[in-house]
């Protein structure tokens, strides 16, 4: 029996429930926005206070405007919210953004300028010079850039972002390898679910019994973002990791979950690199595990032994969709090793990623 | 974030956890068997003690024999069980059967003869003269037949069964109508998920981009079983309800969830029958809700207002898959009313149904 | 090996190829419009001369405007056409309409008023008092209403329509039964492919692993249109057939092909009605077969013996998608008989139906 | 309207229709076997004379034994054949093998030993020292090895094979590149349809809404076979091409068509290599086109300009499924270039490939 809950661990939370922080969700009626609303329902630190969407939805109840499309029941508290128009003054200081990139750039600037902490899933500011592109398990220290960003803006507001959904799966899967040996070259070919394109993004006529070997702008993101994530902040700028990536991205008829095949070469080697890498994957933890963030998976990476795993439908929900699954670690005839990775694209790869980012900011006193 | 748990309500359980009843699962490696194992993982009253399967699996670990195919992680406790061969002596007195009908008839007789309480999902004994065909919300009083069955067998063992997966959805959806007005005639056309046929039952080549308007033996079950379920035990035999049913059953490319369109005529009428029926559906509860069985949904029937609901993927998991969803209640140009119903075929329609049956037996002191 | 061609029979055509009639397609870039373009490529009587679409497409090449979505190669002759704007003066006297119903009503009136013969797939004028709702095998004599329509309009132009895609399958499948015995009551439950909703009509997020038990406006069409089709023109008006229909319509994840389960009662009976009906289905032919229309299937109805047929993917392409398949003819516990029918919704159920209508008009000297 | 025919070109055939060569199909009831039967229906040179299958089918009519699963109508001539048992004496000298690899090795040896020309789609003899692994457009001259094979066997019989379905798509797509510049390293990641695994090969429960990143034995074939195909016969042995390949193979929920992403490095370069390669793909023809074999596509490779093509469903049927589609030729950040290729796995990648091989043998006087 499948019980849908938010991914709350049972460890003591840092913030008492009675004082949950009110938050706003920008783009609340879209596919990422609905995931935000779903994941916030039982969140111990945050409370959905404002739903913000386009002019077309403004003034309606969230229930009416959203046409709820997830397989859980829309909570009444959210359903009864009156949707505010994008650009309106907000009462929440913490703002999640699931906006479409056509409007996210300007709107997020606007709210950061008004002093809000904008935790965005949109692509617009990801590569910004002083904008952290966060995966808390990998680069929690990138929040150091916030200071510089605040100084630039002249206020308390700022923007942090999470990476592209495929990038998150890739970057998490290879992070232990990058740390152990350094990665030189990497080929990745993705098989991405349709939910990544939003509710109306992929028509059923386009994708049933089909594969589309193209996703607009996706390959560039997957080739670029991991270098910033796995690089470091040197006090004044982000220094990217040196790895070079070739990405080919494909849309397949699955609902949730981006699966990818990876082949890569290392900068250093030793005799037992496959064994050591596997162990590093299995034991990998990061800041969210150490400080006990409520949405953090116990183990961010699940290595699965069976030769035909991970599989999209069977493994995407591990740790409430917050763990990345890895399998088929084996030698490559051309480079050093090959592997398969899987990420739940709308949870770990989008709304869940942003919420974990906000939890990190709260735990570090940055809200 | 999706958390998979057994459907345990938070009400106090009747049996303390420290003394969980050991149970065996027959056919434990099949699709219904794996659901049994999954649902028993955190069960407050029952504890998986023995996994039983065919000769081919016997002696292997359950992990090896099952090739676990569900989207949750196989619990180690179950995975490490040594599979016993069908026919072997069992230590458990409570036996769940998810056996294929080709072997279920004989095997279930065998274990009932040895004194076991056999709670079966198989079709073989459903129409037996003294075998309850149970849906605890509808006909908990049919357990009265157990006495007679025990006398026939000359021991403490007996068999109870749950209905066919589609029958359960249909019978639950129409039960409040039958009670209010009596049902005369009923047409039902089903759209059934592929999991109903077992893991290897429907090849992907057969069903992708396809509908198959035939499921062997299914129409007969759906036309026959509801009459027994909605009938009564008169002290010596089951007297079937008088309704007549025409069922057309179809396989569609969905994973879980049987959706059905229904049109029916009533024996009695009044001016507000549609409103009264709707209210009866919304307020319907039965024995499991009254006595607080751990797997019981709070509300066995969910009426959904939206004109395009219930939908298979969006609504099958309501109340951990134990609630039946109903919608589109409206007049019929030919009969009295039409409606749509949905049941999770491998939870409420199979393993979950059997577990609820066993809980009823335990609560009534029949184990 | 699958060769895509227009459904040209090998019989001598009535019109020599050298003088193919120039035709326009309204709504040429949509899903029905693209089927028109595909089916006209090798048509012996008609030649695509003008592609008409909305302002957004006007002025572009058809190739650019259409973003061709069918699994055959867009013919260069069509691809290079310059798209005209809806409302523009046309050179063709024969106009096919695949317009969306939001604009079809007015636009078709406009062109009929200008003297064009408008052969429409849209719903707007189907129930018009003097507008034939044609299935040439069933009611070719309904063209008699054209005279009256022309008189009303005061010109040579007029509109004829083809039925809704599901209606066509239903009406064709039951026509031999209606003729033999008369039909009293009929229940139908459909399982409809996503192409019926147009290219962008059903998002993949909405339908993958799902069934939607609702299609806006569809049930009313299926309950109403067959009565007009199977009725007669009495010289001044259409007298509908007396049958009563209850339709429940569902969307399933298939690409093309509407499958439906049917249960019906007869007005008259005899001992061998099932055998006689089956024979009538197998031998059924109509006007298009008698006069050899180029798009006519040799046998409009294919009865398939296997108990699990027709199936959507396996049978939708029979006779190039122009034959309706029927199977599972058997008694009904409630009414007289049950059966399953299948129609290719975008060929026999839409563009192919309209082209066959136009062929009938040409053969009868009405163009 | 979709007309299903064999892929017969209209050019004069080499063999008059009145004298079609009788052929046998081994494994005639399986998925590849049924494609053989379908493609042979209207073949101008070959006539299905014997259907051979396992003991279970032997003695039955082909109609009964096959349970025809393709979306065309089983021809009566084939349906009425009496199935012979594998191992029985055959009257045909030309034998197509679609046998499962568990029995193909021995059975094909048997019939070759009896003097038959065995044209096999099975993997067993593909890498044999004197067995041609043929793609007639690429290595028609490999038939030179037949002489040596016949000498070894001491009779007129011999075996030729076609490659694995994915290999065929890959090898054809890269052949013009190998000829122009030589290929050094190549990464390929496939997204393969379920029909490649046979009718019962992939259960729907395993693949609906899922991707499986593993196909048993497939990666090894794709890494090995192209080297033999693109190598040469030096008069006494096959000298493989020097390229090195890394293949990752995945199963996706599509019915027919294997799509693959490719990244490769060249042995030589020049300034315009991308333009020259594209031109070489577009103008590529081979022996079957030159001598006009009946199943040969006019152009073996179709280059498609649109940035999101080829797509599995839209492009797999080009030239009756006998053309391989290529697109997205572009630079690679790591190697020299990237591209996407698509092959119809059960036509060009299996039965159609074998039939084209047999046509080559007939045209060269080797039958």
Assembly ipTM: 0.94
Residue of B nearest to D197 (CA): B205
Residue B4 contacts D where some CB pair is shorter than 8 Å: no
Q: Which residues pair with C188 in a beta bridge?
A: C247, C262
Distance from CA of B1 to the nearest CA of A (A): 4
Q: Which pLDDT belongs to residue C12?
A: 38
| From A1, A314, A321, residue closest to B347, measured CB to CB | A1
pLDDT higher than threshold 60 for residue D323:
yes
Distance from CA of A364 to the nearest CA of B (A): 24
Read off the pLDDT of residues C300-335 as tens digits, 9 standing for 90 and up: 999 999 999 999 999 999 999 999 999 999 999 999
Of A43, A142, A258, A320, which is the active-site residue? A258
pLDDT higher than threshold 60 for residue D4:
no
Distance from CA of A226 to the nearest CA of D (A): 15
Say whether both B159 and B225 belong to one domain: no
pLDDT higher than threshold 70 for residue B16:
no
Q: Which pLDDT belongs to residue D39?
A: 97
**What is the C-alpha to C-alpha distance for residues C212 and B257, in angstroms, rounded to an integer?**
12
Say whether both A286 and A206 belong to one domain: yes
Q: Which residues of C touch B340 (CB under 8 A)?
A: 213, 248
| From C200, C201, C253, residue closest to A208, measured CB to CB | C253
Mean pLDDT, residues B17-42 taken together: 92
Q: Which pLDDT belongs to residue A10?
A: 38
Residue B200 contacts D where some CB pair is shorter than 8 Å: yes
Mean pLDDT, residues D67-96 taken together: 96
Active site residue A165: yes
Domain range for B197 is 165-345
Mean pLDDT, residues B346-358 taken together: 97
**What is the C-alpha to C-alpha distance for residues B39 and B248, in angstroms, rounded to an integer?**
31
Mean pLDDT, residues D109-121 taken together: 98
Contact yes or no for D184/D246 (Cβ under 8 A): no
SS3 for chain B is CEEECCCCCCCCCCCCHHHCEEEEEECCCCHHHHHHHHHHCCCCCEEEEEEEECCCCCCCEHHHHHCCCCCCCCCHHHHCCECEECCCCCCCCEEEECCCHHHHHHHHHHHHHCCCEEEECCCCCCCCCCCCECCHHHHHHHHHHHHHHHHHHCCCCEEEECCCHHHHHHHHHHHHHHHHHCEEEEEEEEEECHHHHCCCCCEHHHHCCCCECCCCCHHHHHHHHHHHHCCEECCCCEECCCCEEEEEEEECCCCCCEEEEEEEEECCCCCCHHHHHHHHHHHCCCHHHHHCCCCCCCCCEEEECCCCCCCHHHHCCHHHHCCEEEEEEEECCCCCEEEEEEECCCHHHHHHHHHHHHHHHHHCCCC
Say whether both C186 and C38 belong to one domain: no
- Tell me if A194 and C204 make a contact (CB, 8 A cut-off): yes
Residue C3 lies in a domain: no
Say whether both D196 and D156 belong to one domain: no
Read off the pLDDT of residues A253-283 as tens digits, 9 standing for 90 and up: 999 999 999 999 999 989 999 999 999 999 9
Q: Which pLDDT belongs to residue B198?
A: 79
- Tell me if C205 and A202 make a contact (CB, 8 A cut-off): yes
Mutate to test the interface with D, among B203, B313, B314 (most CBs of D within 10 A): B203
| C314-C318-C323-C327 Cα dihedral, nearest 10 degrees | -40
Q: Which pLDDT belongs to residue B200?
A: 77
Interface of D with C in 111-150 (CB under 8 A): none
Mean pLDDT, residues C124-141 taken together: 98
Interface of C with B in 249-278 (CB under 8 A): 250, 252-255, 257, 259, 261, 263
- Tell me if A246 and D338 make a contact (CB, 8 A cut-off): yes
Residue B253 lies in a domain: yes
Of A125, A165, A187, A320, which is the active-site residue? A165
What 8-state DSSP symbol labels residue C191?
Answer: E
| From B194, B201, B205, residue closest to D195, measured CB to CB | B205
Q: Which pLDDT belongs to residue B122?
A: 96
Percent of chain A with pLDDT over 90: 93
pLDDT higher than threshold 70 for residue C6:
no
Q: Which pLDDT belongs to residue B18?
A: 57
Q: Residues of A115-153 as b/e, b for ≥16 C-beta within 10 angstroms?
A: ebbbbbbbbbbbebebbbbbbbbbbbebbebbebbbeeb
Distance from CA of B139 to the nearest CA of A (A): 23
- Number of independent structural domains in chain D: 2
Distance from CA of C168 to the nearest CA of A (A): 22
Say whether both C190 and C290 belong to one domain: yes
Residue of B nearest to A311 (CA): B71
Residue A6 lies in a domain: no
Percent of chain A with pLDDT over 70: 95
- Tell me if D261 and A254 make a contact (CB, 8 A cut-off): no
Say whether both D171 and D319 belong to one domain: yes
- Tell me if C213 and B327 make a contact (CB, 8 A cut-off): yes
Q: Which residues of C touch A68 (CB under 8 A)?
A: none
The mean of the pLDDT values for chain B is 94
Least confident of B20-29, B193-202, C74-83, D291-300: B193-202
Residue C200 contacts D where some CB pair is shorter than 8 Å: no
**What is the C-alpha to C-alpha distance for residues A64 and A58, in angstroms, rounded to an integer?**
11
Residue A9 lies in a domain: no
- Tell me if A295 and B1 make a contact (CB, 8 A cut-off): yes
- Tell me if B213 and C335 make a contact (CB, 8 A cut-off): no
Q: Which residues of D touch A325 (CB under 8 A)?
A: none
**What is the C-alpha to C-alpha distance for residues C290 and D127, in angstroms, rounded to an integer?**
58
Of B142, B165, B187, B344, which is the active-site residue? B165
pTM: 0.94
Residue D146 lies in a domain: yes
DSSP alpha helix (H) spans, chain D: 31-40, 62-66, 76-79, 101-113, 136-139, 145-153, 165-181, 204-207, 218-229, 273-283, 287-291, 312-315, 318-321, 352-363
Residue C102 lies in a domain: yes
CB pairs under 8 A between C and D: 64
User: For the domain that residue B122 is a member of, what is the CATH number?
Assistant: 3.40.50.720
- Tell me if B312 and C210 make a contact (CB, 8 A cut-off): yes
Read off the pLDDT of residues C41-69 as tens digits, 9 standing for 90 and up: 999 999 999 999 999 999 999 999 999 99
Say whether both A195 and A327 belong to one domain: yes
Active site residue A258: yes
Q: Which pLDDT belongs to residue B281?
A: 98
Q: Which residues pair with A233 in a beta bridge?
A: A238
- Tell me if D263 and A187 make a contact (CB, 8 A cut-off): yes
Read off the pLDDT of residues C242-264 as tens digits, 9 standing for 90 and up: 999 999 999 999 999 999 999 99
Residue of B nearest to C250 (CA): B261
Residue D173 lies in a domain: yes
- Tell me if C320 and D69 make a contact (CB, 8 A cut-off): no
Distance from CA of A281 to the nearest CA of D (A): 19
Band of pLDDT at residue D18, cut at 50, 70 and 90? low
| From D31, D205, D253, residue closest to B69, measured CB to CB | D205
Q: Which residues of A touch B6 (CB under 8 A)?
A: 1
User: For the domain that residue C318 is a member of, what is the CATH number?
Assistant: 3.30.360.10
Say whether both B114 and B206 belong to one domain: no
pLDDT higher than threshold 70 for residue D95:
yes
Percent of chain D with pLDDT over 90: 93
Residue A208 contacts C where some CB pair is shorter than 8 Å: yes
Mutate to test the interface with A, among C34, C68, C203, C316 (most CBs of A within 10 A): C203
Residue C65 lies in a domain: yes
Read off the pLDDT of residues A333-367 as tens digits, 9 standing for 90 and up: 999 999 999 999 999 999 999 999 999 999 999 99
Distance from CA of D225 to the nearest CA of A (A): 15
Mean pLDDT, residues A108-135 taken together: 97
Distance from CA of A319 to the nearest CA of B (A): 7
pLDDT higher than threshold 90 for residue C198:
no
Band of pLDDT at residue B197, cut at 50, 70 and 90? confident
- Tell me if A253 and C208 make a contact (CB, 8 A cut-off): yes
pLDDT higher than threshold 70 for residue D3:
no
Q: Which pLDDT belongs to residue C7?
A: 38
- Tell me if B253 and D200 make a contact (CB, 8 A cut-off): no
The mean of the pLDDT values for chain A is 94
pLDDT higher at D199 or D116 = D116
Q: How close are the terminal C-alpha atoms of chain D, in Å? A: 38
Residue C4 contacts D where some CB pair is shorter than 8 Å: yes
Residue of D nearest to A313 (CA): D210
Say whether both A281 and A304 belong to one domain: yes
Interface of B with D in 215-254 (CB under 8 A): 253-254
Say whether both D97 and D232 belong to one domain: no
Mean pLDDT, residues A42-56 taken together: 97
Q: How close are the terminal C-alpha atoms of chain B, in Å? A: 37
- In 3D space, the residue among B350, B328, B330 whose CA is nearest the CA of residue B341 turns out to be B328
Read off the pLDDT of residues B116-127 as tens digits, 9 standing for 90 and up: 999 999 999 999
Say whether both A173 and A273 belong to one domain: yes
Q: Which pLDDT belongs to residue C9?
A: 39
Residues of D catalogued as catalytic? 165, 258
Residue A29 contacts C where some CB pair is shorter than 8 Å: no
Q: Which helix (H) or strand (E) holds A331?
A: strand A324-331
Say whether both D231 and D333 belong to one domain: yes
Q: Which pLDDT belongs to residue D11?
A: 35
Residue B313 contacts D where some CB pair is shorter than 8 Å: no
């Amino acid at each position: 029996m499948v019980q849908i809950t938010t991914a709350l661990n049972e460890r003591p939370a840092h913030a008492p429930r009675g004082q949950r922080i009110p938050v706003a969700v920008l783009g609340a009626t879209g596919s990422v926005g609905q995931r935000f609303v779903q994941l916030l329902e039982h969140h111990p630190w945050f409370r959905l206070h404002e739903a913000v969407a386009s002019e077309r939805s403004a003034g309606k109840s969230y229930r009416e405007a959203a046409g709820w499309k997830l397989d859980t029941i829309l909570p009444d508290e959210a359903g009864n919210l009156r949707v505010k128009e994008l650009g309106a003054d907000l009462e929440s200081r913490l703002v999640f953004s699931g906006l479409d990139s056509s409007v996210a750039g300007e709107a997020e600037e606007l709210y950061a300028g008004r002093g809000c902490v904008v935790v965005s899933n949109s692509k617009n500011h990801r590569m910004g010079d002083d904008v952290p592109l966060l995966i808390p398990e990998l680069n929690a220290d990138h929040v150091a850039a916030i200071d510089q960003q605040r100084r630039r803006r002249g206020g308390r507001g700022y923007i942090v972002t999470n990476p592209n959904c495929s990038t998150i799966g890739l970057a998490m899967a290879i992070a232990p390898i990058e740390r152990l040996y350094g990665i030189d070259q990497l080929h990745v070919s993705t098989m991405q679910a349709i939910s990544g394109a939003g509710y109306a993004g992929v028509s059923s006529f386009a994708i049933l019994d089909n594969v589309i070997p193209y996703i607009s702008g996706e390959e560039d993101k997957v080739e670029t973002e991991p270098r910033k994530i796995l690089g470091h902040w040197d006090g004044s700028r982000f220094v990217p990791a040196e790895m070079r990536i070739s990405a080919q991205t494909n849309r397949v008829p699955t609902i949730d979950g981006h699966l990818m095949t990876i082949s890569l070469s290392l900068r250093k080697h030793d005799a037992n690199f496959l064994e050591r890498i596997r162990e590093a994957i299995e034991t990998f933890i990061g800041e969210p595990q150490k400080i006990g963030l409520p949405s953090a998976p116990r183990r961010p990476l699940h290595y699965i032994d069976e030769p035909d795993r991970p599989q999209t439908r069977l493994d995407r929900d591990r740790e409430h969709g917050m763990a990345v699954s890895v399998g088929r670690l084996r030698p490559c005839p051309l480079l050093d090793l090959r592997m398969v990775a899987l990420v739940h694209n709308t949870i770990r790869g989008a709304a869940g990623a942003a919420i974990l980012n906000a939890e990190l900011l709260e735990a570090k006193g940055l809200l």
